[in-house]
Amino acid sequence: MQNFIRNTTTQIDNLYSKIKALKCNNTNAIMQVLAEAERLNLQDPNNAEILVMQAHLQIMNSQEQKARAIARHAWEIGGDLRIVFEKMFAGDLVNLGMTEMAGILLRPHFENLQQGIKIFPLEMVRFALMVGNIDLLSRVVGTFPTNPLFAALMQFVRTYQRLRYTTHFANIQKLIADNFGQQICGYDFNCYTDRGFTDVEIVLYFSNYDFDLKRHSETINNYINKYCSSAGVKRINNLSYVCRNIKDYPEF
Tens of pLDDT, residue by residue over 138-179, are 999 999 999 999 999 999 999 999 999 999 999 999 999 999
- In whole angstroms, how large is the CA radius of gyration of the chain? 19
Class of 151-248 per CATH? alpha beta
Q: What is the pLDDT of residue 7?
A: 65
Q: For residue 4, what pLDDT is reported? A: 45
**What secondary structure letter does DSSP report for 49?**
H
Q: State pLDDT tens for residues 184-243.
A: 999 999 999 999 999 999 999 999 999 999 999 999 999 999 999 999 999 999 999 999
Interval 67-83 mean pLDDT:
95
Q: How far apart are the first and last CA of the chain?
A: 34
The answer for 206, left when phi > 0, alpha when psi is -120 to 50, beta otherwise, is: beta
Query: Binning pLDDT at 50, 70 and 90, where does residue 1 land?
Result: very low
Q: Domain 2-146 belongs to what architecture?
A: Alpha Horseshoe (1.25)
Asked if pLDDT for residue 61 goes beyond 90, the answer is yes
- Residue 82, exposed/middle/buried by CB under 10 A (0-12, 13-18, 19+)? middle
pLDDT attached to residue 6: 57
pLDDT tens for 120-140 read 999 999 999 999 999 999 999
For the chain, the structural domain boundaries read 2-146, 151-248
The 10 Å Cβ neighbour count of residue 149 is: 17
Is the pTM higher than 0.85? The answer reads yes
Residue among 184, 175, 152 nearest 227 (CA): 175
Q: pLDDT, tens digit, for every residue of 28-47?
A: 999 999 999 999 999 999 99
